[in-house]
Amino acid sequence: MTQDRTLRRLVRRETHSSRALPSIIVASILLLVFLWLAAESVLWLLNDRPLLASPAHIRQWLVGLPGSTVPAGLTAAGVGLGILGLLLLGVAVGKGRRARRALASDRIATVVDDNVIAAAVSSTSRLAAGLAPGQVTTTVGGRSVRVQVRPTSGVSLDLASIKTALDGELAAYALDRQVTGKVRVANEGAVGQ
């Protein structure tokens, strides 16, 4: 049972983002701003020349901001800040799913990249219909696997066998999130395959 929980935790951590990159960026910016403000304050107390702007200047600028800036510019800056805030909030609250998913197995936790699944599905579908490489492309989305087939011109396409191969393949993977397979046949055919 504990083994099971451990494996589930491993899968969860592998298929979801840790938000390390945004955290590193934000923490670095915060660190720089705090250090800069501290340095400016020390220089100001010692009556030394400021690095960029002394705390007194920063205060004056902040208080006089609405008076010294055109309203449109102020609004635009506010919108920019708001978008940045929404972005951070979205990263924090969002699901953070990565393009990979878990495959059922008893002893180990297995996580497969979506593009590996797509390549495998393309290859099986192609072999099932007897098509040439490049005539089948697959896209793996959140809950669907879409197979796009470009049939050979003048040769009838065995759509049922592709569908069976696709369903069999997806059933064999037993992915942790249910996916539905869809086959789409392109209008134009490939010539001379």
Coil, strand or helix at 151:
coil
- For residues 28 and 35, give the distance between their C-alpha atoms in angstroms, rounded to a whole number: 11
Q: How far is the CB of 51 from another protein (least distance, A)?
A: 14
Identify which of residues 83 and 159 has a Cβ nearer to another protein in the complex: 83
Q: How far is the CB of 187 from another protein (least distance, A)?
A: 26
Using the Cα atoms of residue 80, residue 85, residue 90 and residue 92 in order, give the sign of their dihedral: positive
Identify which of residues 96 and 188 has a Cβ nearer to another protein in the complex: 96
Identify which of residues 49 and 188 has a Cβ nearer to another protein in the complex: 49
* Residue-by-residue DSSP string for 138-150: EEE-SSEEEEEE-
Which candidate, 10, 189, 19, places its Cα nearest to that of 88?
19
Q: How far is the CB of 159 from another protein (least distance, A)?
A: 20
Q: How far is the CB of 86 from another protein (least distance, A)?
A: 6
Give the side-chain half-sphere CA count within 13 A for 155. Answer: 15
Identify which of residues 108 and 191 has a Cβ nearer to another protein in the complex: 108
Which residues have CB under 8 Å from 118's CB, separation 6+?
138, 139, 140, 145
